[in-house]
Amino acid sequence: MWGPGASRRNVLLGGLVLTGTIGGLIRPSEAWAGPAATAPPVIGCDAWGARAPSGVIPVWDRRPLRIIVHHTATANVEDYSRGAAEFVARTIQDFHMDRRGWIDTGQNFTISRGGHILEGRHGSLEVLRAGDRHVEGAHCTGQNVEAVGIENEGTYTALTPPDRLWSRLRAMCAYICQQYGIPPTEIGGHRDFKDTLCPGDAFYAMLPRLRSEVADALGQPLSGRTARRASWPLLRPESSGPVVQAAQHLLRAAGLTDVQPNGRFDARTVAAVRQYQQAHRTEEVNGLIGGETWPLLVTAKGADQQEVTLAVRALTPDGAVRASALPGTEEWKRLLSAAERRP
């Protein structure tokens, strides 16, 4: 997970962050041959009144590989002022430290509905400006060393983010991609890695547009197909169709034979998913199949190969792909993603 040669420096961040450790680093050469992305204004931790971290924040001697977009799943407020944005940042930090027991805010950056960008975890802004270190967050288990986390204020299950938020998110992503050499195709959502609704259906559906607009800003335009990229479908009780049927066959392949492969995410399917998640100790035991449970299902050892074959057939009614041709998770992801998009 940490990659070859990666090392970690534990720096106690507070007061003058990263003093004597990160400050003074030589700025890396620009990662993009296209136009430079202008650094958007960011309100630092001191400016919004952050508490000091309660412990040592890990800083890694490596660049992150991707950006993960989140939503706060809070009210879609209409107060777009800076004061409201700073209040949100303090509220999130209090929740993360006092309720979850974390040492600081979990995400690296927060964007308010009014389009104010705020530093989240201490040190994230200075390290970003240097461009060759990464402050470990606590926003997506398994990705915190690999990804910059951006929390966006609001709930975007049905509604889309306001233009002010969107334009600042685009600018921030472009700057992060430029500083760290992250391809815009590596901008994803929380659900790509976990069994969660985050960042909301409406927001998640906009991520191809975000990748495309960020790439354009960097002079690296993407094709529509590349911007869409394959992703794990998020299955839940209201889901139905061939992707659900494939999941049901894979659950049966894992020994959960009470599930009927009827293509409906019914109560038996939810119960089986919960049982599977509990057995595999996933972070969430919630009955959703997303970015954490899918990779486990499609690579299960000792699975009933007849059921695996039936799962493939559910996704490829023309029989163009055989189960034996799907050795890894990326091939499964592409197949599932294509089946979900098929009319």
Residue-wise pLDDT for 45-65, tens only, equals 999 999 999 999 999 999 999
Last residue of a domain, one of 202, 228, 254: 228
Q: Which residues of the chain have pLDDT under 50?
A: 1-31
Domain containing 84: what range?
37-228
Residue 136 lies in a domain: yes
Q: Is residue 42 located within the same domain as residue 165?
A: yes
**Strands 117-119, 42-43: parallel, antiparallel or unpaired by DSSP?**
parallel
Same domain? For 203 and 251 the reply is no
Strands 66-71 and 187-189, bridge-based pairing:
parallel
pLDDT (0 to 100) of residue 176: 98
208 is a domain residue: yes
| Residue 33: per-residue pLDDT | 52
pLDDT of residue 140: 98
Is 7 within the bounds of a domain?
no
| Distance, C-alpha 326 to centroid of its chain | 25
Indicate the number of domains in the chain: 2
Note whether residue 159 is domain-resident.
Answer: yes
68 and 166, same domain (yes or no): yes
Say whether both 218 and 264 belong to one domain. Answer: no
- On whether residue 253 sits in a domain, the answer given is yes
- Tell me how far apart the alpha carbons of residues 263 and 221 are, in angstroms, rounded to a whole number: 38
User: What is the reported pLDDT for 325?
Assistant: 61
Tell whether 307 is covered by a domain.
Answer: yes
Which tokens go with 338? 């294509």
Angle at which helices 163-180 and 207-217 pack, to 10 degrees? Answer: 60
Residue 172 domain-assigned?
Answer: yes
d(CA 54, CA 104) in angstroms, rounded, equals: 7
Q: Are residues 118 and 259 in the same domain?
A: no
Does 30 fall in a domain? no
Q: In what order do the strands lie in the sheet with 147-152?
A: 42-43, 117-119, 109-111, 147-152, 66-71, 187-189
